[in-house]
Amino acid sequence: MSCLGFKGGIGTASRVVPSGHTVGVLVMTNFGERGRLTVSGVPVGQLLPPAPAPTAPPAGSCIVVVITDAPIDPAGCQRLARRAGLGLARTGSTAHHASGEIFLALATGLRAPRGTVSPVTPLQGRQLDPFFAAVVEATEESVLNSLLNAPTVVGRGGNTAEGLPVDRVAALLALHS
């Protein structure tokens, strides 16, 4: 997997919203061009040296799974899932023609014994706003976590997927803070 021109993989992050509920995000990162990599608003991909070898054109797929313990119904979960794309965009994704993003969300807060209906009222409308923000932030962090934890690997035929140079990125972020 290649994420924004570097070795990608799986990343996770979570947020606790003011109501005390948790929003967790798991991302499989396989998308984007190196020059678009953005970290905390800093155009890191443009500031790092270019790739040592030509890279493949942007394509790939990204899967984002959002889960919360809040009482959110299926329509609310669909709305949560749509916010994952905003978190990807913060890191530099533009969802190229050949990309295939899949966003899923589920909530456990309305569970009830089989054959019964949950007595809990689902969150709706503006009550979901903190959850939307949590999804965006945790998705962005999940992508960065996948990059920060993926080492350089060499595969068949000498194909190399370069790991993100963490020290260089930290220095760039320090310069721009």
First to last CA, the chain: 30
pTM of the model: 0.93
What is the homologous superfamily of the domain 2-175 according to CATH? L-amino peptidase D-ALA esterase/amidase (3.60.70.12)
How far apart CA 139 and CA 157 sit, in angstroms, is 33
Residue % of the chain over a pLDDT of 70: 95
**Model pLDDT, residue 60:** 75
What residues are labeled active site?
61, 99, 101
Q: Which two tokens stand for residue 162?
A: 């370069």
How far apart CA 64 and CA 96 sit, in angstroms, is 17
**Model pLDDT, residue 158:** 85
How far apart CA 160 and CA 154 sit, in angstroms, is 4
pLDDT over 60 (residue 58): no
pLDDT, tens digit, 9 for 90 and up, residues 150-174: 999 998 988 888 999 999 999 999 9
> How many contiguous H segments (helices) and E segments (strands) does the chain have?
5, 8
How far apart CA 120 and CA 166 sit, in angstroms, is 45
Domain boundaries of the chain, sorted by first residue: 2-175
